[in-house]
């Protein structure tokens, strides 16, 4: 088996595991016998009210987790790798399409796709999304990126947040958070015309990343991990402050509306997913919502494929 066949088989296995996880019945397992102190990092008994090493008092019991065999099956990395793959493929195709709108292939054209190519690839623009009612762009724009640095920074952040988010919320809710917060950020970004009176073009996975930050902040806060929760809270606040400052001084073009919209949606989802009492039908509701979002995304990629084929025909 050559390297290409090995890569295709790996992607097929990851896709199969992902779809199976959507309809797999979630079971509750016994709590672990130990837990990690959020202050000093030492392990103590799961039923202890305080840490023997630093005397930190735990506000709530340790959260329930899956058993060790399920936790080490690499499922969390499969979902993250799928996002990596979608973003990388979209970036490569946007660069190829960008070459159709430039007279000569330069380093700049390969590093940063042109706006016309990004728009044809499904970027979230005020006129296309709202005026032309191409709402599928709210799902496709998050997998596009404006330049090489943009995608590298976002994927580095996803490499840190992705496995943590998957461990805390599991596969279905991980994808729900990514898609819902990304769409929420896109809605606020496209609607920013009402405030700025300027047409915008938005791409990038950062709205969903801020959504993952918000959801994990709620999760850690509700389960007693105060120190880690405070770190995420500080990162959310200062991350937005720095991005807004860079935009105000025209140093970088950053879609702050997408960041804020994704973060707020992530906080709301975090509270919903960590609610102590949830109806029995919540899993079916989540499946229906996730299926609808996937259908919207696939329809958007179908539209992008038609435009892409027309540009190279």
Please give the positions annotated as active site. Answer: 206, 259
Handedness of CA 22, 86, 75, 185 (dihedral sign): negative
- Which residue in this structure is represented by tokens 């060790």? 68
Contact (CB, 8 A) for 200 and 174: no
Handedness of CA 204, 209, 210, 211 (dihedral sign): positive
CA distance 78 to 65: 19
Give first-to-last CA distance, the chain, whole Å: 33
Three-state DSSP at 49 gives: coil
CA distance 119 to 201: 8
Q: Count the neighbouring beta carbons within 10 Å of the beta carbon of residue 99.
A: 16
Name the residue among 151, 133, 131, 132 with its Cα closest to residue 143: 151
């Amino acid at each position: 088996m050559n390297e290409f066949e090995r890569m295709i088989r790996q992607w097929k296995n990851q896709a199969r595991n992902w779809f199976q996880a959507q309809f797999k019945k979630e079971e509750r397992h016994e709590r672990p016998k130990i837990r990690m102190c959020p202050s000093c990092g030492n392990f103590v008994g799961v039923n202890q009210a305080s840490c023997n090493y630093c005397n930190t008092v735990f506000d709530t019991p340790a959260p329930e987790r899956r058993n060790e065999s399920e936790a080490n099956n690499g499922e969390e990395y499969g979902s993250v790798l799928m996002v990596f793959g979608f973003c990388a493929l979209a970036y490569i195709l946007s660069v190829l399409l960008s070459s159709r709108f430039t007279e000569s292939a330069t380093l700049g054209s390969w590093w940063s796709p042109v706006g016309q190519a990004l728009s044809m690839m499904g970027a979230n623009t005020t006129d296309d999304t709202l005026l032309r009612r191409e709402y599928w762009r709210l799902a496709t724009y998050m997998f596009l990126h404006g330049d090489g640095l943009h995608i590298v920074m976002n994927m580095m952040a996803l490499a840190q947040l992705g496995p943590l988010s998957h461990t805390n919320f599991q596969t279905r809710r991980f994808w729900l958070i990514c898609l819902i917060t990304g769409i929420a950020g896109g809605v606020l970004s496209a609607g920013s015309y009402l405030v700025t009176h300027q047409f915008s073009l938005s791409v990038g996975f950062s709205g969903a990343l801020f959504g993952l930050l918000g959801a994990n902040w709620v999760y850690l806060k509700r389960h007693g991990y105060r120190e880690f929760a405070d770190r995420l809270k500080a990162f959310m606040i200062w991350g937005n402050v720095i991005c807004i400052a860079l935009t105000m001084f025209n140093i970088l073009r950053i879609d702050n509306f997408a960041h804020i919209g994704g973060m707020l949606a992530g906080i709301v989802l975090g509270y919903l997913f960590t609610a102590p009492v949830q109806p029995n039908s919540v899993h079916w509701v989540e499946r229906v919502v996730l299926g609808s979002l996937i259908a919207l995304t696939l329809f958007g990629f179908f539209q992008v494929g038609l435009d892409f084929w027309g540009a190279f025909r």
